[in-house]
Amino acid sequence: MSKSVTILGATGSIGTSALDLIERDPGGFTVSAVTAAGNVAALAAIARRTKARLAVIADDRLLPELTERLAGSDCSAAAGDQALSEAASGEADLVIAAIVGCAGLKPAMAAVEAGRTVALANKEALVTAGVLMTEAASRASATILPIDSEHNAIFQCISGARLEDISRIILTASGGPFRTASAAAIRSATPRQAVAHPNWSMGAKISVDSATMMNKGLELIEAHYLFGLPSERIDIVVHPQSVVHSLVEFIDGSVLAQLGAPDMRIPIAFALAWPKRMATPAERLDLAALARLDFEAPDSERFPALRLARSALEAGGAAPTVLNAANEVAVERFLAGAIGFPDIARIVEDSLGRDNSPAPQSIDDVIAIDQATRQRAAGLIEESCS
Ligand code: NDP
């Protein structure tokens, strides 16, 4: 029987990879709903091609254009935040949550609250609302399958294990495009240099996060919520080849790792086929040709985002939400050429230092903290530019 799949963020890098796999196996999958922010032409083309029943554009000014582009098809058009959440919670065997940033939180939460199986790429949702989302998942008996390659690797390695038998998890980090750059070169890094990731082809925001290593910081927090381990039992090691996607150490000293080519279609396929497996066109590993795998300790002097994320995780409460919101604003301003590369970590640090919000008790609290932090971060940026 075929599996019905909803793709939130269908026009993005993860959405495109998921569609690539789904369209290679027309008997295995049907597409239920697809969503995008503003890329209306691409969304309508995907909806027509996949025969989706619903297409939702976040920007409601684009609803007339979407409706027009879907005319004559069996696909309904909708727009706006409420429609996104309705698409997320609608009937589907699997919901792929691949919207970028905190914008993906409400739709991802709607899918979780509806008890869906959620393939989660949108790490910002778990970072900003980890407690609320994992509690909602257990209340609604929803399953969260991590798509992030590191967390997917850990998920695979701990399958069947008892939590008390795990001594630590080790997240691997490629080190990003500035792994070997001097502190001076990093200070003057441009957006074009920052998005040129050595191993992975990804959206702009996560590419900058990889360059600052905030991506690994967000993943540290994501791992805490997904696997229930405290900060001191989650380590980070730099592994430039991105072949070992992460490791788990057990109390007897055994270490299990998941390896594969750096191709997001592998973890996405894992989530699509779960609990089975499916074939992918991803390159196979040739270990003899690879010859070596390198590992090194991360450098939180050149990459202060690592230290900031760990302290936000340890502080708990509103801190991870503040960290994420300030980072989103700073990355956006960096990509627009308004601030320099080191300003990203500085804005995040200042935002964390100035916040005294209580721990969020609801998604509305999370959104309020997110909005207040965005305003404060924008003010900090304006101050530093004037
Ligand atoms: P992209 O920027 O390539 O795509 C983002 C998607 O989200 C697009 O479909 C975009 O629509 C949509 N979107 C953006 N803003 C909004 C909004 N405000 N409301 C509704 N939809 C919105 O991102 P990626 O695919 O790279 O990343 C998606 C998520 O997956 C991120 O959280 C990232 O951290 C995570 N991830 C990505 C990996 C990768 O390899 N790319 C690896 C691991 C995790 P539109 O096209 O219309 O703008």
**Each residue's pLDDT tens digit, 85-106:** 999 999 999 999 999 999 999 9
Please report the pLDDT score of residue 384 as a whole number.
79
- Measured between alpha carbons, how far is residue 129 from residues 319, 325, 341 in Å? 11, 12, 27
Boundary-marking domain end, from 112, 146, 180? 146
Distance CA 116, CA 132 (A): 16
Whether 152 is covered by a domain: the verdict is: no
Task: Give yes or no for a cis peptide into 275 (omega within 30° of 0).
Answer: yes
Name the domain count of the chain: 2
CATH number of 45's domain:
3.40.50.720
What pLDDT is recorded for position 197? 84
**Is residue 344, in this structure, part of any structural domain at all?**
yes
Evaluate whether residue 151 is within a structural domain. no
145 Cβ partners below 8 Å, 6+ apart?
A: 117, 118, 119, 120, 152, 155, 270, 271, 274
- For residues 197 and 174, what is the distance between their CA atoms, to the nearest angstrom? 9
- DSSP-assigned states of every residue in 104-122: GHHHHHHHHHTT-EEEE--
**Is 297 contained in some domain?**
no
Given 124, 146, 168, the domain boundary residue is: 146
Residues with a CB atom less than 6 Å from ligand 1: 9-15, 36-39, 58, 98-100, 103, 121-124, 148, 200, 202-203, 205-206, 264
Q: Is residue 250 part of a domain?
A: no
Q: What is the pLDDT of residue 198?
A: 84
Ranges of the chain with pLDDT below 70 = none
For residue 364, what is the enclosing H or E element? helix 363-385
Q: Tell me the residue range of the domain where 121 lies.
A: 3-146
Residue 10 vs residues 5, 164, 284: alpha-carbon distances, Å: 11, 38, 26
Answer whether residue 124 is part of any domain: yes
Atom 17 of ligand 1 has which residue's CA nearest to it?
A: 37
Q: Are 332 and 350 in contact (CB under 8 A)?
A: no
Give the pLDDT score at 80: 98
C-alpha dihedral, 113 to 214 to 234 to 313, nearest 10°? -60
Q: How far is the CA of 374 from the centre of ligand 1 (A)?
A: 19
pLDDT at 199: 85
Q: What CATH number did the domain enclosing 381 receive?
A: 1.10.1740.10
- Name which of 248, 79, 113 is nearest 171 in CA terms: 248
Of 120, 146, 172, the residue that ends a domain is: 146
In a domain? residue 276: no
Residue nearest to atom 19 of ligand 1 (CA): 37
Cα(43) to centroid(ligand 1), Å: 13
pLDDT score, position 385? 75
